Amino acid sequence: MKITDIVVLQLRIENIENVFDGTQDVLIVQVLTDTGITGFGEVVSSSYVARAIIDAPRSGGGRHGLRSIVTGMSPLDTRAVWEAMYEGTSWYGRRGAAIHAMAGIDVALWDIIAKAAGTPLYRALGGSDARRMRAYASVLWGDTVVETERLARDFRNQGFQAVKFGFGPIGTSLERDVEMVAAARRALGDDADLFVDVGRRWQVEQAVERAAAFDDYNVGWIEEPLHPDDLSGYAALTQRTAIPIAGAETEETVAQFKAYLDAGLKVVQPDLGRVGLTQALEISALARRYGARCVPHCFGSGVNTTASIHWMAATGGTLTEYPMRSNALCRDLVRGVPSVSDGYVSPGEEPGLGIELSSDVVEQYAYG
């Protein structure tokens, strides 16, 4: 089996807001083969930059576009394809958007491997059963306390037993932060998990102060409280708070995740659209050796959501992120995304990811 082409679909909603919401524009990759099997992946990055990295022609050493590198290679050898992409982009890549684009292709290769074997993706990744796992509803904080309470109640009414709120007004003041967390906890009740995503807005002393103020609200973790470059800050913070610290969603290499684990994080959050499945399997194993949890970051389309569920099923994961934005790229683009029932989700049994794209949504939101 050989790779014959990569089809890149860039999709964008009409009105883009300057907020950290990866469902507003997405980049889907389809890896085509000479057997007719197609694999799906999603790139989580600047979709415009990553698209150029895939589409670029061959050039001087280490300056090639990804399509030109992988065409003609076997999709069944993910390690060989990864190394070829890494070396072929080494003059401008090795980190950042080049790795993100590679990650989307890598997920598509695993989809092909599973489809060729006639097995669901989680089995191709080494899993033995379609284990149920909790899915936490993931959404931005409401603009007000009242809006946050409404969102939390809605998710409980939908059966979710865990919710994460992120970005929005959090981080603006101690009083405001406590009000928002208290509102979410009131609406969720005492028997649901609450995760707080700060969006990299605090310094160490602010984070210590906020964590102490959150003690009464049973916060499951505090996510990305500091700038991602502040590893020394993370090392200090993890020694001074009892609430687990989560992070590293911005990172794209195994070495970077090891650095966060060395800094004391108890939850690392790889995004498959930034690391790919080949690296994600290594990161899961690395987190286990550190006694930490590996929980997917996932805030894009149903391609990434579905791949993350299969990855967790294959590696013994017990929790996965489930984005709950209301736009079409999050909710309607992908058919076959596993649904949540009573707060739990399981991977499907169809070969590969078991998904298809809605042609109507693709036609309506195609960009460029």
The predicted-structure confidence for 110-164, as pLDDT tens digits, reads as follows: 999 999 999 999 999 999 888 899 999 999 999 999 999 999 999 999 999 999 9
For the domain made up of 3-119, give the CATH fold.
Enolase-like; domain 1 (3.30.390)
Longest CA–CA span in the chain (Å) reads: 60
Cβ neighbourhood burial of 38 (10 Å; 0-12, 13-18, 19+): middle
Helix (H, G, I), strand (E, B) or coil at 279: helix
pLDDT for res 135 = 98
Query: Hey, CA dihedral for 39, 42, 47, 50, is it positive or negative?
Result: negative
CA distance readout (Å), 364 to 37, 49, 302: 25, 22, 17
Instruction: Say which residues have a Cβ less than 8 Å from residue 57's Cβ, sequence separation at least 6.
Output: 64, 65, 68
- Domain regions of the chain by residue span: 3-119, 133-365
| Bridge partners, residue 267, by sequence | 246, 293
What is the tens place of the pLDDT at every residue in 211-260?
A: 999 999 999 999 999 999 999 999 999 999 999 999 999 999 999 999 99
DSSP letters of 203-272? -HHHHHHHHHHTGGG-EEEEE--S-TT-HHHHHHHTTT-SSPEEE-TT--SHHHHHHHHHTT-SEE---H
pTM: predicted TM-score of the whole model, two decimal places: 0.96
CA–CA dist 119, 207 (Å, integer):
45
If DSSP codes are grouped into helix, strand and coil, which group holds residue 170? coil
CATH of 133-365, one of 2.60.40.10, 3.20.20.120, 3.40.50.720, 3.40.1190.20: 3.20.20.120
CB-CB neighbours of 204 under 10 Å:
17
The first and second tokens of residue 14, run together, are 């009409």
What pLDDT score was predicted for residue 18? 84
Name residues of the chain where pLDDT drops below 50: none
Residue 129's pLDDT is: 85
pLDDT of the residue at 245: 98
Sign of the CA dihedral with 69 first, then 70, 72, and 76 last: positive
Token code pair at residue 70: 């992988």
